[in-house]
Amino acid sequence: MPLWPVYTGAPAPHDGIAKLPPPPPWRAFDGHPVLDPPDEDDEALAASPDRAHRAATYQASEHTVQLVNAALYLRRPLLVTGPPGTGKSSLAYAVARELRLGPVLRWNITSRSTLHDGLYTYDPLSRLYAARHATERPDDPAAGTGIENHLRLGPLGTALLPYARPRALLIDEIDKSDLDLPNDLLHVLEEGQYEIPELVRASRDTSDGRAEVLIDGTDQRVPVERGRVRCKAFPFVVLTSNGEREFPPAFLRRCVSLRLRQPDDDHLTEIVRAHLGEPDGYAQKLIDRFLSRVGSGELATDQLLNAIYLARSSGLGADSLDELAERLMPYLGRSPQPDAF
């Protein structure tokens, strides 16, 4: 029998994702050919030690654990909002690490981001150069003129490949997007599939309609049949928002919504302990000062961690430390943000 929760917030990785029950009938997908999930290898971790540290030290609240599991069970995106520094983006890395979902696919949103950017990129100019090169040097095997040689799947497009286990996808700061992007995402995330028109057209000229395309973040190629991609295991999708805009109801009802609050005393102490070890007397003083100031303006937890780290490593006297801590923990906004769900 499946066990709730699958994600527990535990420090040790495990294969709990295999205990997920079948999806609801309206969230079942049948993409093929089924792909083996990638491994989070040592090389990938070494390339981003900051993300590996955040994933290993993330302290999930009970409320967070419950809603992460709701998103996993329902195969729905998780929309995470909250003040800066509350660990919105780190959550995706923590879940991927614990459940062994492989490297996190990350799509950083700007005001110019479009759905196409997240799905795939195609460079027709490089294909033109390749065609010219093939004409001049017909015996050169490097002159690949096929469309698939000049196309790469983006983070969203890669996450929706038919992997046997879910991939983890972080769509960071969705509130900075153009007004149309959340609505454009609706169909793709609801259907778990998309088409690559360039490959659809090219597939008509081949017997099996299969193309090998590059995926996001690596030089690995995967098969795509007749230009159509459909997931097998719906990815664990985390969309983060700093609350800079409202989203349409149609978008919100297709997400599981999680609002992260500023941590209380006990939770904050756990966060400090996970990152920097047991808090000493001065660290506890900074924790108390941080908590006393939260109600008067917006602060981020990493400001506190910076202050405690420097207090331990700088060798400054108490007066200098107090002045430095004050400078490291300025308000990010004058009005406190409500913590209501």
Domains and CATH numbers, the chain: 16-259 (3.40.50.300), 265-328 (no CATH)
Per-residue pLDDT, 316? 79
pLDDT band at 76 (very low <50, low <70, confident <90, very high): very high
Mean pLDDT of 193-207: 83
Whether the pLDDT of residue 191 is over 80: the answer is yes
Mean pLDDT of 269-286: 91
What distances in angstroms separate CA 101 from CA 14, 147, 177, 338, one per listed residue?
A: 10, 30, 27, 33
Mean pLDDT of 26-38: 93
pLDDT band at 337 (very low <50, low <70, confident <90, very high): very low
Mean pLDDT of 91-107: 95
pLDDT band at 9 (very low <50, low <70, confident <90, very high): very high
What distance in Å separates the CA atoms of residue 283 and residue 267, rounded to the nearest whole number? Answer: 14
Closest CA to 92 of 301, 216, 233, 235: 235
Whether the pLDDT of residue 65 is over 50: the answer is yes
